[in-house]
Each structure stands twice: as C-alpha cells, then as structure tokens.
Amino acid sequence: MLEQGRSKPVLGICLGMQLLLEQGTEVRPCQGLGVIRGVCDRIPTQLKLPHIGWNGLRFPNPSPLFAGIDEGACVYFVHSFSAQNCAPEQVVAVTDHGCDIVAAVNSGNFFGCQFHPEKSGEVGLQILKNFGAMNK
C-alpha cells in the first residue's frame, strides 16, 4: 500500500473502486487490494439490477473529492455490485437504490467512486477537477 502523504492520490472508478476493497464476489471470492475495508457484493435490493442511471449523493464524511459539490447532486451509475461492510469513516458518499449504496470511499491518498464521474456532466467534471488539484 502506498504511504499516506508520500505519494500522489489514486482514484478508482467503478470496478477500480471495487478493487480497492478487501474482497470481491462477482464471479467467485477474490482478494482485493485491501486499501478500503469491505467486500464488493451484489446490491441487496429488490429493485432492478443493474442499477443504471442518475442518483443523488449524500456525504456522511467530508472529502476533498467533493469540494464544491452540493448534497443531492446527481451522478451516473452502472453497476450490480457495490461496496458493503465498509469502515464508516472511509465512506464519503452514499446513494439510494432501494437500499443505501456506498457511492465513494476515501482512505489516505486512495479515493474510489462507484459512479462514473466522466459520464456525470458538470458535477462529474468538478469531481475530476478536485482530484486533479490534489495531484499538483
């Protein structure tokens, strides 16, 4: 694992965020990178999967990734699996699809977005700008 404060920030998007977790179960149990506590598992919802579309974000913990982004801002998701059983302090954004879904995580210089900022219009562009500013 990269040491906090000594390396450039890393951003995992969608599957990239899921790889930051301790384990994934999409095909079979597989070890993840273990940067973020938790497991990637099928979304426990009665709603249709995959979860495709725009959803609003809530921010349980502050993160520089979301500077200038208002609570409720919408971003674009395409997924059937999500981070579960994460350390609460590592969860920086959540959304709803019949249950709470971890939308973004942060631990030290590692950041992950389950949604696609590159497909999320002006909100996504601001998130990517925020990440870029951390790399200066």
Burial class, 61, CB count within 10 angstroms (exposed 0-12 / middle 13-18 / buried 19+):
middle
Q: Which of 14, 40, 86, 113 is catalytic?
A: 14
Q: Which of 22, 26, 30, 118 is catalytic?
A: 118
Query: How is residue 74 written in tokens?
Result: 């919408």
| Antiparallel, parallel or unpaired: β 110-113 and 10-13 | parallel
Which residues does residue 77 pair with via DSSP β-bridges, in sequence order? 53
Q: Which of 22, 30, 86, 116 is catalytic?
A: 116
Task: Mark whether 97 is an active-site residue.
Answer: no
- What residues act catalytically? 14, 116, 118
